[in-house]
Amino acid sequence: MALPAVVSVETLTPEAVAKTIDHALLRPEMTVDEVVEGCRLCARLQVASVCVRPCDVRIAAEQLRGTGVAVGTVIGFPHGSSPTSVKVCEALAALDDGAEELDMVLNIGRLKSGRTDEVRDEIRQVVEAAKARLPGCCVKVILECALLTDDEKVAACRAAEAAGADYVKTSTGFSSGGATLADLGLMRASTDPAATRVKASGGVRTLDFLVECLGVGADRIGTSASEAIIADLRARRAA
């Protein structure tokens, strides 16, 4: 569902907002019942996708089959420090379990060491393996912007784009900071909009902030506050 040319609370519909959302079900203490209920919520809201822990992909795929809501999961989460071979293995296992979208954490330490070629090559290996297994697979690369300088963010965006990633993403939501408008603007300016999209994640808990993120170039929003955000928009439109 296409967003309006001017993104604002007044121009957005609940349906359009829902289709920008990747609903996060990633807390380590979540029970199976909570995962199932979260998936049922996603089906009711008709969000773009649910992002679950790797161990929950089969559960999510069973719950969401036929609903139009995609199943996503995380790779190398949350620190990005797994060897490349492990990230590739995680990606393929997730796809075999029913995932359609993968949010992988790049190797933050290698990026900060200036070893950008290694970062790019690792992303490429995950992207190529995933798309060979599932051609329509969507791969998003998590930068963890709170730990990076602006120059490192730009380098990460360019590496991800060169490697064929579909999205660059601000944050895991499990580090020292989340999405900021400045970071989103920088990420949008550092990638080709025709090739690479931008995902805001970490700390997006209100409708107003979600709209601001979309306004500076985000295409997807990672949040666990989907129900409250959409309910707020419905209430404002009814007022």
Q: Tell me, yes or no, if 19 is annotated catalytic.
A: no
The answer to whether residue 4 scores a pLDDT higher than 90 is: no
Mean pLDDT of 164-174: 98
The answer to whether residue 7 scores a pLDDT higher than 90 is: no
Mean pLDDT of 165-172: 98
Ordered by start, the domain boundaries in the chain are 14-238
Q: In sequence order, what DSSP letters do the residues of the chain get, joined into one string? A: -PPPSS-STTT--HHHHHTTEEEEE--TT--HHHHHHHHHHHHHHT-SEEEE-GGGHHHHHHHHTTSS-EEEEEESTTT--S-HHHHHHHHHHHHHHT--EEEEEP-HHHHHTT-HHHHHHHHHHHHHHHHHH-TT-EEEEE--GGGS-HHHHHHHHHHHHHTT-SEEE---SSSS----HHHHHHHHHTS-TTT-EEEEESS--SHHHHHHHHHTT-SEEEES-HHHHHHHHHHHHH-
Predicted model pTM: 0.96
Q: What is the pLDDT of residue 51?
A: 98
Q: Domain 14-238, what fold? A: TIM Barrel (3.20.20)
Catalytic residue among 87, 140, 153, 199: 199
pLDDT digits (tens, 9 = 90+) for 101-156: 999 999 999 999 999 999 999 999 999 999 999 999 999 999 999 999 999 999 99
Average pLDDT, the chain: 97
Sign of CA dihedral 108, 103, 77, 97: negative
Q: What is the pLDDT of residue 1?
A: 64
Q: Tell me, yes or no, if 169 is annotated catalytic.
A: yes
pLDDT band at 235 (very low <50, low <70, confident <90, very high): very high
Q: What is the pLDDT of residue 239?
A: 81
The answer to whether residue 229 scores a pLDDT higher than 80 is: yes
